[in-house]
Structure 1
Amino acid sequence: MEKLQIHTALQIARSRNDIFEAIVNPEKMSNYFIARGSGRMEEGNVVTWSFPEFPDSFPVKVKKVTAFEKVIFEWEGQEGSNLQVEISLEDRGNDHTLVRVTEGEMEADAKGIKWLAQNTEGWANFLACLKAYMEYDINLRKGGFDFMKK
């Protein structure tokens, strides 16, 4: 049986350099995705991300960084499963960048299908929030997940 993998993408009207910096710099990332991060995403580092809607922090092991092109990291994308995430940036001309996110893999079983639904939603949200921040300086996540706090 084939394994499950997430693939999502969105074009953003900003340069690859600007988007890359918004992804690797926790101060910028806190304007659209995380509440805070412990450091820059640099190859070999383990950084910790905190989200406003979750009580826990999440360790993120940065596997590879290619400046202005790609960030690959590993995290516990599903409880008990370390998964690899690849964010790649493709120059589309005129200061437009195609941002692609791939995460996986999981078995095509009930646990995998639940992960696929939840994390696909999460990465689509990440891309929409990144676009709003980069193009309009809006933080779409601010207050958006307050209903999840316990």
Structure 2
Amino acid sequence: MTDAKIPTVETQMLIRKPVSIVFQAFVDPAITTKFWFTKSSGQLEIGKTVTWEWEMYGASTNVLVKDVISNKKISIEWDDPATQVDFEFTALTESTTYVVIKNYGFNFTGDELIQAIKDNTAGFTTVLDGLKAYLEHDIQLNLIADKYPREVGDLA
């Protein structure tokens, strides 16, 4: 649980699918790769460390699964330096789920902290947008891949 005094990124989205489907989209990499990372070494299970990859960027991170409460919450530790991420799932009706993502435990201050909060807020918002499009409309928007296309680097 996060403390109000701790800098915390928080993003949220209503997904018009049952909580079991939305929860599974984060646990099962066969689904998650449709809207977030491109490759994973396995499903999320308590105590397990998996590696997530974004092949288009040549980037990866290790993810330590701290807690999984079926259809309610997933807690992980990731990145370097490590931060905590909680994915919280609330069934509003039988066919709608409210997802909240909280990221906290940043080891930065000043401008570095502000940049980390901006980057993570934008990143997790993009993840939720892609999740919504995929689960509700079966559309892969490629939001993560298109956020920083290689061609933009050629403009610099």
The range that moved more, 137-146 or 114-123, is 137-146
Please tell me the residue identity of whatever aligns with 1:82: A
The range that moved more, 94-103 or 104-113, is 104-113
CA distance in 2: counterparts of 1:116 and 1:69, whole angstroms: 25
CA distance in 2: counterparts of 1:105 and 1:14, whole angstroms: 30
CA distance in 1: counterparts of 2:95 and 2:135, whole angstroms: 12
Say if 1:52 and 1:145, in contact at 8 Å, map to a contact too.
Answer: no
Aligned equivalent of 1:29 = 32
CA distance in 1: counterparts of 2:141 and 2:55, whole angstroms: 13
CA distance in 2: counterparts of 1:52 and 1:141, whole angstroms: 13
Say if 1:5 and 1:104, in contact at 8 Å, map to a contact too.
Answer: yes
Aligned equivalent of 1:134 = 135
CA distance in 2: counterparts of 1:41 and 1:148, whole angstroms: 30
> How does the TM-score come out when normalised to structure 2?
0.87
Offset, 1:101: 0.3
What is the percent sequence identity of the aligned residues?
A: 26
CA deviation digits over 1:7-54, x for unaligned, max 9?
Answer: 111000001100111100011101111101110000000000011432
Q: Gaps (5+ residues) in structure 1?
A: none
Aligned equivalent of 2:110 = 109
**Residue 32 of structure 1: SS of its match in structure 2?**
coil
Within-5 A mapping of 1:16-95: 16-76=19-79, 80-95=80-95
Q: CA 1:6/1:146 → structure 2, altered by over 3 Å: closer, same or farther?
A: closer
* Structure (1 or 2) with the greater helix fraction: 2
CA distance in 2: counterparts of 1:72 and 1:91, whole angstroms: 18
Structure having greater relative contact order (Cα 8 Å, sep ≥ 6)? 1
> How does the TM-score come out when normalised to structure 1?
0.90
Say if 1:53 and 1:145, in contact at 8 Å, map to a contact too.
Answer: no
Counterpart of 2:17 (choices 14, 23, 40) is 14
CA distance in 1: counterparts of 2:72 and 2:24, whole angstroms: 11
Offset, 1:6: 0.3
**Residue 23 of structure 1: SS of its match in structure 2?**
helix
**Residue 53 of structure 1: SS of its match in structure 2?**
helix
Q: CA RMSD in A?
A: 1.7
Counterpart of 1:4 (choices 7, 28, 45) is 7
CA distance in 2: counterparts of 1:81 and 1:42, whole angstroms: 22
Count residues with an aligned counterpart: 146
